[in-house]
């Protein structure tokens, strides 16, 4: 293998002295890593491994132990492709591969070294047997596979005998016995399948939609762009031809759906572009007692402060006064509006409005 590209001047030349191989270069600060996912709230910050700042030698080695078998299967891969694949900058990838290139087994003859070099934007590698097989999957990775596969099998169009199912069957012997009692349930909501088909065809759909903010049902025409599940609910991001804006609709509030036979050009919406809220939203700060913590858990918020008495001050964007009134009545004495002052009496007002119904009507009406 050492003969293949001898003439290449960019090849890492003489194999290094052993002493140098433990050196880890100081690193430039990386530009911001992956875009944060389009989460609708700050309540679940992504804790995926941050690529910012220097990585430890252990992180780099553990990355290499994954990358080397991977590149072995392919032999030649573009540097840019490989960097994207592993969430690394090209500089980081090159540095890591350079580190690998001085590794091997004493007495470090060429055939016992990892033979990896960069040529004309390509990574070319021959890896000695020691590094040619990937590591076993960790428990965390097996768990992730279980969860993702279960969720994927519940999606529209999933084939119970298809390649995903057979792949899982091959993975099954690796799973510890406890994996059998880990279950993922996605909400079963009608129209998800139809909306997904509409995303892929571009066909405009006429929907009847119930908005709890206004307590009204509207008929509108939408072009669906992405169907997604978050925190136990299905949503569709769409061009809303009624308002002329990009909107997110809750699929379980769609009462009816029909194709229009008008087709729009397909457009992809990234997770971080999802138009969760329209612009003109008001913010409100609530003090939430511990027993009404579901408010903090169920709705997106802008910021939160945990108080010493285990209450939480939470600032959130509200979609309508009606929506806030409903929230206040549901939480009762366990929530209080701190600001703005115009909403301080909203709970009482809303309660009075509901009470009026009980006072007006005789129950047997």
Partner 1 sequence: MMNLLALLVDRAKPLTLRQVRQELGKQYPESDEAARAAFERDKAALREMGIPIETKTLGGDAAGEVTYWVNRSNYELSDLRLTEPERDALQLAVATVHLGAQHGEEALWKLGGERHLKKSSMSVNIGLVDQNMGTITDAVMKRRTLNFEYKGESRQVDPYGMLSRGGFWYIIGYDHLRRDQRVFRVDRIEGRVVAGEARAFKAPENFEVAAAVPTEKQMLAAGDGEITTATVLVDAALAPGVRREFGESFVVREREDGGVEFAIPCANLGAFRQWLFAMVESAEVLSPPEIRDQVVQWLEELATGA
Quickly list DSSP for 244-269: TEEEEEEGGGEEEEEEEEEEPPP---
Candidate segments 2-10, 118-126, 238-246, 340-348, binder of partner 1 by CB under 8 A:
340-348
How many positions of this chain bind partner 1 (CB under 8 A)? Answer: 122
What's the CA gap between 238 and 229, in Å, rounded? 14
Q: Determine, following the binding rule CB under 8 A, whether residue 175 of this chain makes contact with partner 1.
A: yes
Window 227-246: residues binding partner 1 (CB under 8 A): 227-233
Window 112-151: residues binding partner 1 (CB under 8 A): 112, 128, 130-131, 133-145, 147-149, 151
Q: Determine, following the binding rule CB under 8 A, whether residue 30 of this chain makes contact with partner 1.
A: no
**Closest CB 282 distance from partner 1, rounded Å:** 19
Q: Determine, following the binding rule CB under 8 A, whether residue 53 of this chain makes contact with partner 1.
A: no
Crossing angle of helices 57-74 and 90-100, in 10° steps, is 90
Asked if the bond preceding 200 is cis, omega within 30° of 0, the reply is no
Are 34 and 84 in contact by the 8 Å Cβ rule? The answer is no
Q: Determine, following the binding rule CB under 8 A, whether residue 204 of this chain makes contact with partner 1.
A: no
> Which residues, in sequence order, are CB contacts of 14 under 8 Å at separation 6+?
none
> Which residues, in sequence order, are CB contacts of 184 under 8 Å at separation 6+?
147, 150, 151, 154
At CB < 8 A and 24+ separation, what contacts does 147-152 make? 147/182, 147/184, 150/182, 150/183, 150/184, 151/184, 151/186
User: Measured from the CB atom, is 302 or 329 closer to partner 1?
Assistant: 329
User: Measured from the CB atom, is 21 or 30 closer to partner 1?
Assistant: 21
**Closest CB 45 distance from partner 1, rounded Å:** 7
What's the CA gap between 27 and 316, in Å, rounded? 39
Buried b (16+ CB within 10 A) or exposed e, 282-321: eebbbbbbeebbebbeebebeebeeeeeebbebebebbeb
**Closest CB 244 distance from partner 1, rounded Å:** 23
> Which residues, in sequence order, are CB contacts of 76 under 8 Å at separation 6+?
122, 123, 124
Q: Determine, following the binding rule CB under 8 A, whether residue 42 of this chain makes contact with partner 1.
A: no
Q: Determine, following the binding rule CB under 8 A, whether residue 285 of this chain makes contact with partner 1.
A: no
Q: Determine, following the binding rule CB under 8 A, whether residue 186 of this chain makes contact with partner 1.
A: yes
Which of 1, 48, 111, 342 forms a contact with partner 1 (CB under 8 A)?
A: 48
**Closest CB 7 distance from partner 1, rounded Å:** 28
Candidate segments 7-15, 46-54, 238-246, 279-287, binder of partner 1 by CB under 8 A:
46-54
User: Measured from the CB atom, is 8 or 111 closer to partner 1?
Assistant: 111
Q: Determine, following the binding rule CB under 8 A, whether residue 103 of this chain makes contact with partner 1.
A: yes
Q: Determine, following the binding rule CB under 8 A, whether residue 325 of this chain makes contact with partner 1.
A: yes
User: Measured from the CB atom, is 103 or 257 closer to partner 1?
Assistant: 103
Which of 7, 29, 177, 280 forms a contact with partner 1 (CB under 8 A)?
A: 177
Of the candidates 237, 334, 348, the residue with the CA atom closest to the CA atom of residue 295: 334
Which of 30, 33, 54, 70 forms a contact with partner 1 (CB under 8 A)?
A: 70
Backbone torsions φ then ψ of 121, nearest 5 degrees: 80, 5
Candidate segments 98-106, 116-124, 240-248, 300-308, binder of partner 1 by CB under 8 A:
98-106
Candidate segments 5-13, 82-90, 118-126, 300-308, binder of partner 1 by CB under 8 A:
82-90
Q: Determine, following the binding rule CB under 8 A, whether residue 221 of this chain makes contact with partner 1.
A: no
């Amino acid at each position: 293998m050492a003969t293949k590209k001898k003439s290449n001047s960019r090849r890492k030349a003489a194999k290094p002295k052993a002493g140098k191989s433990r050196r880890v270069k100081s690193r430039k600060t990386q530009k911001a890593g992956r875009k944060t996912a389009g989460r609708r709230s700050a309540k679940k910050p992504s804790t995926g491994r941050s690529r910012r700042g220097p990585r430890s030698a252990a992180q780099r080695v553990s990355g290499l132990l994954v990358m080397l078998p991977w590149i072995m299967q392919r032999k030649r891969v573009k540097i840019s492709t490989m960097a994207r694949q592993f969430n690394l900058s090209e500089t980081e990838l090159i540095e890591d591969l350079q580190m690998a290139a001085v590794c091997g087994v004493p007495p470090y003859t060429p055939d016992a070294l990892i033979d990896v070099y960069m040529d004309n934007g390509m990574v070319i590698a021959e890896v000695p047997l020691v590094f040619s097989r990937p590591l076993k999957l960790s428990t965390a990775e097996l768990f992730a596979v279980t969860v993702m596969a279960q969720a994927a099998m519940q999606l529209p169009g999933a084939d119970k005998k298809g390649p995903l199912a057979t792949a899982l069957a091959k993975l099954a012997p690796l799973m510890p016995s406890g994996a059998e009692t880990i279950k993922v349930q996605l909400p079963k909501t009608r129209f998800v399948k139809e909306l997904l088909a509409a995303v892929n065809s571009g066909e405009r759909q006429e929907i009847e939609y119930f908005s709890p903010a206004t307590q009204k049902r509207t008929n509108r025409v939408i072009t669906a762009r992405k169907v997604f599940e978050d925190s136990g609910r299905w949503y569709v991001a769409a061009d809303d031809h009624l308002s002329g804006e990009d909107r997110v609709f809750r699929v379980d509030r769609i009462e009816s759906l029909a194709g229009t036979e008008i087709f729009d050009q397909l457009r992809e919406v990234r997770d971080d572009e999802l138009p969760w809220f329209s612009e003109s939203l008001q913010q409100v700060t609530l003090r939430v007692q511990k027993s009404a913590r579901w408010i903090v858990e169920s709705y997106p918020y802008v910021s939160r402060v945990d108080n010493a008495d285990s209450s939480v001050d939470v600032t959130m964007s509200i979609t309508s006064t009606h929506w806030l009134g409903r929230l206040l009545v549901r939480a009762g004495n366990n929530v209080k509006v701190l600001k703005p002052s115009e909403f301080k009496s909203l709970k009482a007002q809303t309660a009075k409005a509901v009470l009026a119904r009980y006072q007006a009507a005789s129950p047997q009406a």
